[in-house]
Amino acid sequence: MRSLLFVPGDSPRKQQKGLESGADALIIDLEDSVALDAKPQARKITHDFLRAARELPTRPLLIVRINALTTGLSDADLDAVMPGAPDAIMLPKSEGGIDIGHLAAKIAVREAEADLPDGATRILPIATETGKGVFGLGTYGRSSHRLMALTWGAEDLSADLGAETNRLEDGAYTDPYRLARSLTLFGASAAQVDAIDTVFTNFRDDAAFRAECRAARRDGFTGKMAIHPAQVGPINEIFAPSAEALAKAQRVIALFAANPGAGVIGCDGEMLDRPHLRQAERLVARARKLDE
């Protein structure tokens, strides 16, 4: 997944626009974008949207962001949306692998009740929305076979910390949020899943948005969440492997295949070793997924 676009769970119009956005995944939101008294109606609208969207010949992945496990609302969310067979559930304010195991058990029961294939529903946690969650980033490995990726959030973390802001005047993150971002990369690597970068809220600042996307790709994130359809195109463009990078990766793989006993090979004037091979294999695998 390169682009994951948030759409409110109570807005059929925005959900339809999401389908037309070109996003790799839609995150249908039952949490922050839906007022408390609107949540019952949002659950029904989301269920109906899932049912209809799954019948389309081509569609994005359908991910539902439920309310946090501590709110007392997540069971009602799951009861409503699981019969619609979402591809994944996004868990906000996740605090570690224990939360993933807890949610996985809830999902398994509802898959059985809805006659869905066991294990079909994946889990995508937002892993840094509380201070406790930051300390849990190393616990996601082996938490559940449903774990599909890790992502992070700065807005709720600001509230949890009592911070005045999470960005400097030049738009760069302040130190606590740079740390949370970096630890998300390490946590995803430890769990052997993709890392997805957080949202960029100033959707009118295209230059800064593109710069943040390029920095995220450079550091190892494979995609980014979006809050506006206009952000989808740049995300897809920047996070797609370039033809040049893909061609080089294929050359590296071919050279190692032709020299299976070599620890180091020469390619385009560089000396490359086995870590470069793994990097090339990951890039080719990601490009293959995008073509499926």
Choose the weakest-confidence range: 16-20, 65-69, 251-255: 251-255
Residue whose pair of structure tokens reads 């569609």 in the numeric block: 59
Asked if 124 contacts 91 with a C-beta cutoff of 8 angstroms, the reply is yes
* 166 and 260, same domain (yes or no): no
> 10 Å Cβ neighbour count for 102?
16
User: Does residue 270 sit in the same domain as residue 216?
Assistant: no
> Does 86 share its domain with 150?
yes
d(CA 233, CA 24) in angstroms, rounded, equals 10
The verdict on 140 and 47 lying in the same domain is: yes
| Residue among 42, 36, 21 nearest 71 (CA) | 36
Q: Which two tokens stand for residue 33?
A: 């974008």
For 110, other C-beta atoms within 10 Å of its C-beta total 17
Within a 10 A sphere around the Cβ of 13, how many other Cβ atoms? 9
Considering the entire predicted model, what is its pTM? 0.91
Q: Is pLDDT of 184 > 90?
A: yes
Q: Is pLDDT above 80 for 291?
A: no
Report the residue count for the chain: 292
Q: Are both 138 and 198 inside the same structural domain?
A: yes
* CA triple 229-154-180, angle to 5 deg: 125
Q: Exposed, middle or buried by CB within 10 Å (0-12, 13-18, 19+), for 108?
A: middle
Same domain? 120 vs 253: no
Please answer whether residues 153 and 94 qualify as being in contact, where contact means their C-beta atoms are separated by less than 8 angstroms.
Answer: no
Q: How far apart are CA 137 and CA 190, in angstroms?
A: 9
Kindly state the percentage of the chain with pLDDT values over 70.
Answer: 100
Q: Are residues 210 and 251 in the same domain?
A: no
- Which pLDDT band holds residue 241 (cuts at 50, 70, 90)? confident
Residue 289 amino acid letter: K
Which position has the higher pLDDT, 141 or 242?
A: 141
Q: Do 254 and 197 share a structural domain?
A: no
Q: Is the same domain home to 253 and 206?
A: no
Residue range 127-142: mean pLDDT, rounded: 97
One domain, residues 232 and 268: no
User: For the chain, what is the domain count?
Assistant: 2
Structural domain harbouring 24:
3-239
- Confidence grade of residue 66 (pLDDT, cut at 50, 70, 90): very high
For residue 102, what is the domain's CATH number? 3.20.20.60
| Mean pLDDT calculated for residue range 234-241 | 95
For every residue of 74-114, DSSP letters joined together read: HHHHHHHHGGG--SEEEETT--SHHHHHHHHHHHHHHHHHT
Question: How many CA within 13 A on the CB side of residue 11?
Answer: 16
